[in-house]
Amino acid sequence: MAVTFLGRDAWTTHGPAKPLTELTDPTGVAVHWPGATGQIGQSRESIASRLEGYRAFHVNTRGWNDIAYQMAIDNAGRVWKLRGEAFMSAANGDQDVNRAWGAVLLMLDQDDRPSDAMVEAFQTWRTTRWLIRFPRASKIAPHSAVRPSGDTDCPGDAARALIRSGRLMEEPDVALTDVSITEWKSLLKVEIVPVSDPDNVNAGDPDLVGVRTALGWTADRSAAHARQLAALGAQLGPMAGEVAEMRGQLAAQDAKLDEIAMAVAALGANPGN
């Protein structure tokens, strides 16, 4: 079944009330629910109205910068962009936990159960968006497991059972889209912290540490991109030329990473030179 990705303008005319903080190195994603009595209406209009209500409450009553969550997923298989993956949530309990965990809202009330469409939408979002941006953030946890005080039942028994089953960790059969190709292209960039004075570097120099950190992070991301492209290779069709070009870019990045690694190793072996 098709997964539908919806932008912020599908549910609100408002932007964030205040600037949001970038999310840089999360551990994984925490799963939330609204958990009200009864069932959530699954029409697009009903979900949009709920999300706008949450935003207004979080901003106007709680005083937060925006709606608390990064994304929402409903039982019709729609993925709604809220804050977006790039920004920290305000949903997990405190700033430390928000830095460590993303926050996805499953649109489930107490009498709802996760549908196959919701599961596929979560899998597709996680595989083609979340893990492309954060390849090391592979964990999935219920909100109740990461909230510091532990005083919550969120995201309910049905969603906790779904997380324990491992289904949300599975990779779906994903058809490539122009949007995902564009997103991958935007992420295929080597970001190496430069050494400010290459003629006078010690092994413990902060710039050199920065190079090593960036090198490891870029290698992880490059490997994640390569795995995704290999898994989807059979479905490329008319996009085969674009993906072949992207694979060439990955190969070129790998060669550059090898070159930088050799240079870093040489600097570490000859401190002070």
State how far the Cα of 125 lies from the Cα of 13, in Å rounded to an integer.
Answer: 23
pLDDT band at residue 247 under the 50/70/90 scheme: confident
Checking if the pLDDT of 268 tops 90, the result is: no
Cα dist from 173 to 124, 126, 167, 209, whole Å = 8, 13, 13, 39
Of 34-38, 168-172, 234-238, the range with the lowest mean pLDDT is: 234-238
Residue 190 clears pLDDT 50, i.e. is over it: no
Single-letter residue type at 94:
D
Question: Which is more confident, 58 or 3?
Answer: 58
Q: Do strands 101-106 and 71-73 pair parallel, antiparallel, or not at all (unpaired)?
A: parallel
Q: For residue 191, give the DSSP letter.
A: -
Residues 6+ apart with CB under 8 A from 250: 188, 222, 225, 226, 229
pLDDT of residue 171: 80
Average pLDDT, the chain: 82
Mean pLDDT check: name the lowest of 61-70, 120-129, 162-171, 231-240: 231-240
Whether the pTM exceeds 0.75: the reply is no
101-134 pLDDT tens trace: 999 999 999 999 999 999 999 999 998 899 988 9
Please report which confidence band the pLDDT of residue 185 belongs to, taking 50, 70 and 90 as the band edges.
low
Q: Please give the backbone phi and psi of residue 173, each rounded to the nearest 5 degrees, phi first.
A: -80, 110
Name which of 100, 20, 101, 90 is nearest 54 in CA terms.
90
Instruction: Name the burial class of residue 104, with classes exposed (0-12), middle (13-18) and buried (19+) by CB atoms within 10 angstroms of its CB.
Output: buried
Does the pLDDT at position 17 exceed 80? yes
Q: What percent of the chain has pLDDT over 90?
A: 56
The model's confidence at residue 272, banded by pLDDT at 50, 70 and 90, is low
Could you report the per-residue pLDDT of 36-76, keeping only the tens digit for each? 999 998 899 999 999 999 999 999 999 999 999 999 999 99
pLDDT at 35: 94
pLDDT class of 149 with cuts at 50, 70, 90: confident
Contact (CB, 8 A) for 35 and 94 = no
Distance CA 121, CA 102 (A): 16
**Alpha-helical runs (H) found in the chain:** 44-56, 95-100, 116-125, 131-133, 143-146, 156-165, 178-187, 206-231, 240-269
Rounded to an integer, what distance in angstroms lies between the CA atom of residue 33 and that of residue 108? 6
What integer pLDDT is reported at residue 192 of this predicted model?
A: 43
Percent of the chain at pLDDT above 70? 73
